[in-house]
Amino acid sequence: MKSDTSPVRPRGAPPVRNQSTPASIAEHAGRLSTSPQLRRALADRREILAAARARAQSPFATLRVFASSTPGKLFLIAVALTIGCLATGWYASVALNHRTHSLQQLISRAEPIAESSQILFSSLSIADASATSAFISGGLEPVSLRQRYANAIASASAALITAANTPDEDGGPIGRDIDPVHDDLVALAINLPVYTGLVETARANNRLGNPVGSAYLNQASGMMQEILLPAAQRIYENRTAAISQPQQVLTRPPYLVYTTLFAVLVAIVAAARFLDRRTRRRLNAGLLVALVTMTAGTLWLLAAGLTSVVATNTARVEGADPLHALTGARISLQQARSAQTLSLVRRDQTALNDDFTAATRGVSEVLNKLADDYHSGHAKTLPIADIDAARAALVDWQTTDREIGKRLTAGDYIGARDLTVGPEKTSAATYYANVDQALVRAITEARSAFRNNIYTAGRFLAFSSTGILLLAVIAAVAIPAGLYNRILEYR
């Protein structure tokens, strides 16, 4: 008989359930998980929990989630392209406005002031040469020489007023802290009346036949060579640099503007390809309008900008550079004439003759180089007829100067004087006048070539800044308008 080992349940206690094994629990859970109703309930619970977590997230996290979605990406593309078009159009407009303003400033202010400084320099040289030529004429000087001297002094005085302005500002004269040639301008304003006073004193004594007149003329000429002309030369070089420096910038295309425009075009094409992959639509009206307008603006700026650069470079090669060279040649010409006439006043044929030779050699080198540039095609619009005329007259003048030296060596002062300042066609005065007149005509034509090409460069950029800004605004409006409907499809 078996003994009963089960525990005794007290009266009224609840019945004890049989404990299940782990295998039975797993089997029961598996049966529950295969229930469709339970799976649906678990999915709904997960969605509710996900929605609750999304509501509890920060705004930045919400924006990050939105940005990772397709409508968010389209929205960001629209914003980025709109800002890019507006920024590029504004930058291109500002850059082109700056170039246009620089061209206008160059032609309306910097170039006239540089021209005045050139007139100041050359007029002082002409005045000195005319004063010595009139002095050695003896007694009452010729009216033409006297008038030439008076005109040169008047031109120098008027040019000094204009040259006192600064080429890069809209105002008038400025102080020494800003203008580097302020002291030279002051020196000219102070010493020019002193020079004219010495010349008049020498002229009066020469009329009376007093030998002291030559001493006054030597003092005046020394002041011209040591104070006035060096100061005028520094002013001329400074004012000429105000033309050459902007030209170096304006002869380079606006590469950064072109780079930004090409970057915007690439971005628009990339956005169209992204939209094609996501929506299966090859063309979008807004992106197409933006692409067409920005492409038109880019081509416009390429044509206008490069043409303006070519015109500015032509102004430099065939205008400013020859103008600077011819101006320097004319100044050297006046110095050679002063040395030639002053040698008769001082009876000194050594040092002054060396000055004449060096000055005329410099003029010859300039004219020969310009002629070579023309015949080689480097500068096709040079006034070659005037340059050739100056070269021929210069050779005749040098030949006549050697004859003057021979007469002085032989003691024929009167013959040397007549050959120096006489009105004959074979005199040094006639050949000098021929060279000077040819140089003046060449300088005038070179300046006209410079101004015409600068005007041309400015006309090509006249409406480019406004046009590119208008096209950029059209593109900026078309992009969000074109992507708006695509974004609404994801509601």
pLDDT digits (tens, 9 = 90+) for 244-264: 777 777 888 888 999 999 999
Q: pLDDT, tens digit, for every residue of 178-224?
A: 667 888 888 999 999 999 999 889 888 888 778 788 888 888 888 88
422 or 22, which is more confident = 422
Which amino acid type is present at position 354? Answer: D
The pLDDT value recorded for residue 274 is: 82
Query: Picking from 102-106, 268-272, 348-352, which range would have the lowest pLDDT averaged per residue?
Result: 348-352
pLDDT confidence of 393, banded at 50, 70, 90? very high
pLDDT > 90 in the chain, percent: 15
Per-residue pLDDT, averaged over 290-302, amounts to 91
User: Does position 132 have pLDDT exceeding 70, yes or no?
Assistant: yes
The closest of 172, 179, 309, 161 to 242, measured between CA atoms, is: 179
The pLDDT value recorded for residue 26 is: 46
The pLDDT value recorded for residue 111 is: 81
pTM of the shown model? 0.72
Per-residue pLDDT, averaged over 260-278, amounts to 87
Give the C-alpha separation, 351 to 334, whole Å: 17
17 or 388, which is more confident = 388
Give the C-alpha separation, 327 to 122, whole Å: 8
Give the C-alpha separation, 220 to 342, whole Å: 11
Query: Picking from 124-138, 166-180, 360-374, which range would have the lowest pLDDT averaged per residue?
Result: 166-180
Give me the chain's average pLDDT, please.
80
The closest of 94, 95, 88, 96 to 457, measured between CA atoms, is: 96
Backbone φ and ψ of 55, nearest 5°? -70, -25
Give the tokens for residue 46.
């997960």
User: Does position 367 have pLDDT exceeding 80, yes or no?
Assistant: yes
User: Does position 66 have pLDDT exceeding 70, yes or no?
Assistant: no
The pLDDT value recorded for residue 170 is: 54
The closest of 196, 197, 71, 203 to 136, measured between CA atoms, is: 203
DSSP letters, 238-307, are HHHHHHHHHHHHHTS--HHHHHHHHHHHHHHHHHHHHHHHHH--S--HHHHHHHHHHHHHHHHHHHHHHH
Query: Picking from 17-21, 92-96, 99-103, which range would have the lowest pLDDT averaged per residue?
Result: 17-21
The pLDDT value recorded for residue 460 is: 82
Which range among 315-329, 383-397, 419-433 has the greatest average pLDDT?
383-397
111 or 24, which is more confident = 111
User: Does position 8 have pLDDT exceeding 50, yes or no?
Assistant: no
Backbone φ and ψ of 84, nearest 5°? -65, -40
User: Does position 10 have pLDDT exceeding 70, yes or no?
Assistant: no
66 or 99, which is more confident = 99
The pLDDT value recorded for residue 32 is: 47
The pLDDT value recorded for residue 195 is: 92
pLDDT confidence of 317, banded at 50, 70, 90? confident
Q: Is 346 exposed, middle or buried (0-12, 13-18, 19+ CB in 10 A)?
A: middle
The pLDDT value recorded for residue 178 is: 65
Per-residue pLDDT, averaged over 97-107, amounts to 84
pLDDT confidence of 5, banded at 50, 70, 90? very low
The pLDDT value recorded for residue 417 is: 82
57 or 396, which is more confident = 396
User: Does position 87 have pLDDT exceeding 70, yes or no?
Assistant: yes
